[in-house]
Amino acid sequence: MDSMRVITAHCHCGAFSLRHELDPSTLPQPHTLCHCTSCRRRTGQLAVLPVLLPLYFPTSEDHAPLSSYTTCTGINPVTTSWCSTCGAKIFIRTMDSAGQTQWALNLGLIDDPKGLMDVRGHSFLGDTNDGGVSQILWSSLSKYSGEDGDLWEASVPTETMGQSSSLHLRCACSAFSVFLSRPDPTSSPSSRFRAQFCGCETCRLVTGSCIPAVPFISGPLSSVHLHDPLTSNDKPTFNPGKRPAEEEPISLESTLDLSGLSRYESTQGQVSRYFCKTCGASVIYHTAGSPNHIAFNAGLVDSVDGVLAQDWLDWRYEILYFEDAQRWSTVLAWELKDGLAVWCEASA
């Protein structure tokens, strides 16, 4: 008998770590990348890919207590859990057809993902309108509307494309919800927000992202509103008459309602990352060095134009810290890089 494949995993802050043995005859595990709305908004990622952990039974000695959130898809409850300190998305707990609890671990936390997964296609693209990240990553694999079965066809309603007055971002439980208005043309070179993948190890370990780089939407804090700026009678976040000059620092706390979020400093005194206390979604990246700029996790987009919201988002070809992504998984990193190059070229 072949020796067991040992996997080790940990989150960014180290409160969670795991060592587990997998039967090599079960590897690589066949999987589809899940693009469903629930997976995207519970994580802030564009898609989710967990590794099944047969024979895993957590004990209280394994790690610090995790936070969790349960939703029901159909009749089956799905519980996701995350590190209460750094926000890393850790387990997805479901029930198999025999009623047994099944544990799965987000791929991004595993130290060496090589040989674990055989990605066969994309599921729940019906939730995305535009196909989401299946346009970029493993774009030639089978694309299913639901779990499997019916093939998916793009359904972005062209008559509404670009008609929305704001871009809505929210987490699964809606404790976090903001609207972006077009960046002020006098202070921004583009009418779209920059969207870019970051391959750094920190981004992967505070999210558990299976995609080897984590996508962010970034722009000026002055374009962020708590309510839809054009349709709501509520005051915009900023009083336009008192809009602060670009160089005058705006505080994040005075702009956004952060009460439902936990903050984790991934670089002390410099970089703050916020995640939802209720559903666990990673939501904000903010640096002390650029107080008037903000970045949001791209999986939070709620737009009829589709998950990649190209009318609002200017997706960049370059992957930040690509060498980190490559060090984690050469195969996955290049799959993303090549796919992104082709897609950016085609949609330019």
- Distance of alpha carbon 129 from its chain centroid, rounded? 17
| Lookup result for tokens 């066809």 | 153
* 279 is a site residue for Zn ion (CB under 5 A): yes
Subset of residues 291 to 330 that bind Zn ion, contact rule: CB under 5 A:
none
Closest distance of CB 35 from Zn ion, Å? 19
Q: Contacting Zn ion (CB under 5 A), which of 116, 276, 332, 333?
A: 276
56, 90 contact by CB (below 8 A): no
Contact stretch for Zn ion (CB under 5 A) within 90-98, 99-107, 275-283, 329-337: 275-283
* 336 is a site residue for Zn ion (CB under 5 A): no
Closest distance of CB 186 from Zn ion, Å? 30
* Distance set, CA 1 to CA 23, 30, 53, 56 (Å): 10, 22, 20, 21
* 15 is a site residue for Zn ion (CB under 5 A): yes
Stretch (H or E) spanning 169? strand 167-170
Count interface residues toward Zn ion (CB under 5 A): 16
* 180 is a site residue for Zn ion (CB under 5 A): no
Site string for Zn ion, 224-263 (x = CB under 5 A): ----------------------------------------
Q: What is the DSSP string of 81-125?
A: EEETTT--EEEEEEE-TTS-EEEEEEGGGBS--TTTEEEEEEE-G
Closest distance of CB 162 from Zn ion, Å? 28
What backbone torsions phi and psi does residue 343 show, to the nearest 5 degrees? Answer: -70, -45
What backbone torsions phi and psi does residue 102 show, to the nearest 5 degrees? Answer: -125, 125
| Lookup result for tokens 């009623």 | 99
* 284 is a site residue for Zn ion (CB under 5 A): no
Closest distance of CB 13 from Zn ion, Å? 3
* 283 is a site residue for Zn ion (CB under 5 A): no
Closest distance of CB 53 from Zn ion, Å? 18
209, 290 contact by CB (below 8 A): no
Nearer of residues 139 and 218 to Zn ion, judged by Cβ? 218
| Lookup result for tokens 């936990």 | 262
**Beta bridge pairs of residue 297:** 216
Subset of residues 56 to 95 that bind Zn ion, contact rule: CB under 5 A:
83, 85-86, 88
- Expressed in angstroms, the distance from the first to the final Cα of the chain is 52
* 105 is a site residue for Zn ion (CB under 5 A): no
* 178 is a site residue for Zn ion (CB under 5 A): no
Q: What is the rounded distance in angstroms from the CA atom of residue 237 to the CA atom of residue 227? A: 8
Count of Cβ atoms closer than 10 Å to residue 45 Cβ: 28
Tokens of 226: 């708590």
Contact stretch for Zn ion (CB under 5 A) within 55-63, 201-209, 226-234, 300-308: 201-209
* 278 is a site residue for Zn ion (CB under 5 A): yes
Nearer of residues 31 and 40 to Zn ion, judged by Cβ? 40
* 198 is a site residue for Zn ion (CB under 5 A): yes
* Cis peptide bond prior to 157, omega within 30° of 0: no
Nearer of residues 65 and 146 to Zn ion, judged by Cβ? 65
Q: What are the residues binding Zn ion (CB under 5 A)?
A: 11, 13, 15, 83, 85-86, 88, 171, 173, 175, 198, 200, 203, 276, 278-279
